[in-house]
Amino acid sequence: MQNNNSSSDLSLNLNVRGMPLSATLYINELSNKLKQQGKKVYKFGLGQSPFPVPKVVVDELRTNAFQKDYLEVRGLKPLREAVAAYHSRRNDIECSADNVLIGPGSKELMFLLQFVYYGELVIPTPSWVSYAPQAKIIGRQIAWIKTKEENKWRLLPEELHKICENDHYKPRIVILNYPSNPTGVSYSCEELQELADVARRHRVILLSDEIYGELTFKGNHCSIASYYPEGTIISGGISKWCGAGGWRLGTFTFPESLSILMNGMAAVASETFTSTSAPIQYAAVKAFSGGIEIERYLWNARKILKTLGIQIHDLLLNTGIECPEPDGAFYLFINFSNYSDKLKSKNILTSLDLTTNLLENTGVALLPGSVFGRPEEEYTARLSYVDFDGARALAAAENVPAESPLPENFMDTYCSHLLEGTKAIVAWAKSL
């Protein structure tokens, strides 16, 4: 057979063939086009921390820039010790360095987990954009659980039970992400305990994605691993609470009973990425060890995010745009269903139509609910409130006494772009 190297002849893995680069590409491209045309764009589609990496951690990276050796595939021992100590301290979980695996981002570790484990992936929606594509690439089955807005888009124990009782012995990984991307909503300790009881009854593996745990506004993040230690893998890292997404470092913490999974992942890691960047691992020891500078940084970051999240939430709610009040992270999941008739009359029929129309008319870029696993025709979208100068806001918050709230006009003064963008959404909805 003649091979003319045309793209249609290339034997792409069928699990990858036709897969777009990323769910957010279209909105990003449109935003860039509008910007090039000289229009003002509000980047409310971004998913990265607005804050700089804490200075003590940056200093540690500088000091360790000379570290050049390949490190142990599971991760630098002092870092694994620091991560284990962190979980013992913060979540009251018994673990040691031997239970921790370090990787170049928690996303990569999730991919390895799905690769090594053979079972179904259970994803409550709305959920983060990458869980499902990873399962598709590897060829794993996905079971979606559509959570309800009236439950603040949280998974209920009976919903988990229903999907598991269907085939009690099916091997499963259930993903639980809290505070959630895209809703910002979290669970109380009591709610986690109830979910843990169901997970134990059905012996599922829980992948507890706690990457935003430290950004719980009240600083009281609770881990489900406290209630179901034998079946929970905690996923974490420095991308969100430490502002170091581009440093690429993630952590998985396993119970003793799941060591076989960890060993399998380490074996695959040794044949693929070898080990995570050495200087970054040395610097991350500082981040996980905590201390007064880190505590102060987190205290102020939470305070800022809480102030912004609640104010934007209130502004939207007053206009009839529904969204649950966030408990942490930097996202709001907003629902324009109160405007359905008006949207339909303008031929805006899907969440992508909605976000495209909003962007073209106001310059506000949101991500459509469909990329988070919601039905196309549901008028939902994710708003992320990180489009401001985090270093400047943090410096201002440091001048406010620790126990005092930020001044009323904080958002106006330091995050005026956010306020402007939110007002543009409100005006757009009213004009429909």
Ligand X SMILES: Cc1ncc(COP(=O)(O)O)c(C=O)c1O
Residues forming contacts to ligand X in the complex (CB under 6 A) are 47, 105-107, 128, 177, 181, 209, 211, 237, 239, 245, 250
DSSP state of 381: E
Q: Least Å distance between CB 253 and ligand X?
A: 14
User: In the Cβ-directed half-sphere of 343, how many Cα atoms lie within 13 Å?
Assistant: 23
Distance in Å, CB of 252 to ligand X, minimum: 10
Nearer to ligand X, 47 or 255 (CB): 47
Q: How far is the CB of 1 from ligand X (least distance, A)?
A: 41
Q: Which CB sits closer to ligand X, 42 or 241?
A: 241
**For residues 322 and 318, what is the distance between their CA atoms, to the nearest angstrom?**
9
**Closest CB 241 distance from ligand X, rounded Å:** 11
Least distance to ligand X, CB of residue 127, Å: 8
Are the CB atoms for 200 and 236 separated by under 8 Å?
A: no
CB of 275 to ligand X, least distance (A): 16
Distance of CA 16 to the CA centre of its chain: 23
Shortest Cβ 96–ligand X spacing (Å): 22
Which residues, 6+ apart, have CB-to-CB distance to 251 below 8 Å? 75, 83, 100, 101, 102, 103, 106, 109, 234, 235, 236, 237
Looking at the Cβ atoms of 216 and 362, the one nearer to ligand X is 216
**Other CB atoms within 10 Å distance of the CB of residue 309:** 23
Name the residue among 378, 338, 342, 383 with its Cα closest to residue 359.
383
Tokens of 284: 């991350």
Q: Token pair of 421, please?
A: 């963008």
Strand stretches in 68-114, DSSP E: 100-103
222: tokens are: 């609770």
Provide the minimum distance between the beta carbon of 110 and ligand X in the complex, in angstroms, as a whole number: 7
Residue number with the shortest CB distance to ligand X? 105
Q: Count the neighbouring beta carbons within 10 Å of the beta carbon of residue 12.
A: 11
- Using the minimum distance from each CB to ligand X, give the nearer residue, 227 or 247: 247
Strand order across the 367-368 sheet: 331-335, 380-384, 367-368
Q: For residues 366 and 406, which CB has a smaller minimum distance to ligand X in the complex?
A: 366
Q: Which is nearer to ligand X, 284 or 419 (CB)?
A: 284
335 forms bridges with which residues in the sheet?
Answer: 322, 380
Q: Identify which of residues 119 and 245 has a Cβ nearer to ligand X in the complex.
A: 245
Q: DSSP assignment, residue 328?
A: B
Run of H or E residues at 174: strand 172-177
- Of 140 and 382, nearer to ligand X (C-beta) is 382
